[in-house]
Chains A and B, each alone.
Chain A
Amino acid sequence: MNIKVLGPGCRNCVTLERVTREAVEALGIEVEIEKVTDYAAIAGYGVMSTPGLVVDGEVVLYGRVPTAAQVREILEPLVTR
């Protein structure tokens, strides 16, 4: 599983990365977490309101900072193991 956190690096994006790591840890899964800070790449996902979360190439959330529990609920059904 590959997770990308989209955001130029403001506080919202940092928070999203943190809660995502928390959620991943809580699920106990093996994933690769990348940060995407390049503006063109972010727009390439169709996301215009940052931060955004991409799981295996699919945008699953954008424009808000979720809680770790909400990220966990998003990730749970997507776990491929």
Chain B
Amino acid sequence: MTAPSRSVVGGSTGRLVAALLTAATVWVGLYALNEVAWDTVMGDWLGLDLSHRVVDAVHFFLYDVTKILLLLVGMIFVIGLLRTTLRPERVRAFLEGKPLWLSLGMAAVLGAVTPFCSCSSIPLFIGFVAAGVPLGVTFAFLIASPLVNEVAVVMLADLFGWQLTGAYVGAGLGIAVVVGWIFSRLHLERWVEDFVFAAPVAKLGADGHRPTLGERVEAALEETRDIVGRVWKWVIVGVAVGAGVHGWVPTEFFATYAGPDNPFAVVVATVVGVPLYSNAAGVIPIAEALWAKGMATGTVMAFMMGTVALSIPEAVLLRRVLKPPLLALFFGTVTVAIIAVGLVFNIVF
């Protein structure tokens, strides 16, 4: 739909492939050198004692911020290349007129991989619902999108390892599908503001244009700039707070109050996390530090999910299209689902 614009990247496909390979090599080199580089800079050049508590915290901070930013840039770019044609407008077309179980599953997965900025959530809601996508399916999409995304996956895998990341992604998609299914059983349309159904919905013509490699690279670069530009400050704040927790909070504190033995810790962590607003980039390093200090795995997950999935600003936005009972039901159901996941995780991990 976008009018063809001259490629910023330019050049022939061959040159482009060569440039991509060079970029990949540079990336691998930087990633491999990261830890050694900070050892050299801080230990040899500045002559600092790396075993000192403050120096160690600063070293951890610099190393971790660099690593996470490198991972984010690399992964967002690669995913950007793959999903250049995936937009909410297209997702809606996928979801229309499919059987409920199929569209719920697809909505969760597509929500996880489709990018949209938070100010788009209302036009998106109206666009889906007014076009006849069932409410439950729309909610499944809206839940999965912030909960499971590439930023969350990169940071989780870096800080918690692949096993927990897989479990988190599975749980996130599970919450989206289950809440979507529950909502589809109830007749909730009367609690959606009337103008939503009255909204005229135009459909953008599906274009048959297949993007060229140049266009894909350009779109991926744009997306990388956009997402990294938005989250880098959160990464720095999150890792800084995380480094602080690492260095200064006594280990026994969380083990005592939020260890696996305390089932209420999950509830408290979720209820505290929900009104807080953060994206994955900010909350995951903090969660990792809490985890390292002895907070139970499920409690950490519940805190993280609550912070990422629901927030006061989101409630304010959604109030434009949802009447209070449905808004409360949405927040309540997702909160309960997150608590349930936290409790299960505490038993399993």
Contacts and interface: CB of A to CB of B under 8 A. Distances in A.
Interface stretch (B117-125, B179-187, B253-261, B323-331): B117-125
Interface in B187-217: 195-196, 198-204
B128 interface: yes
Contact of B201 (A44, A59, A62, A65): A44
Most buried by A among B120, B123, B127, B199: B123
Contacts of A8: 119, 122-123
B3 A48 contact: no
Contacts of A43: 123, 126-127, 130, 199-201
A48 to B, nearest CB: 4
Q: How large is the interface on A (under 10, 10 to 19, 20 to 34, 35 or more residues)?
A: 20 to 34
Nearest to B122: A39
B89 A49 contact: yes
A49 B117 contact: yes
Interface residues of B, number: 34
B3 A47 contact: no
B2 interface: yes
A64 interface: yes
A48 B120 contact: yes
B321 interface: yes
Interface in B148-201: 195-196, 198-201
B18 interface: no
B128 A48 contact: yes
A46 B119 contact: no
Given A13-B119, A74-B3, 20 more contacts: A8-B123, A10-B117, A12-B119, A39-B123, A40-B196, A43-B130, A44-B199, A44-B201, A46-B127, A46-B201, A46-B204, A47-B204, A48-B124, A49-B88, A60-B1, A61-B1, A62-B2, A63-B89, A65-B226, A66-B5
- Nearest 3 pairs between A and B by C-beta? A10-B119, A46-B202, A48-B127
Interface of A: 7-10, 12-13, 39-40, 42-50, 59-66, 70, 73-74, 77
Interface of B: 1-3, 5-6, 87-89, 92, 116-120, 122-124, 126-128, 130, 195-196, 198-204, 222, 226, 320-321
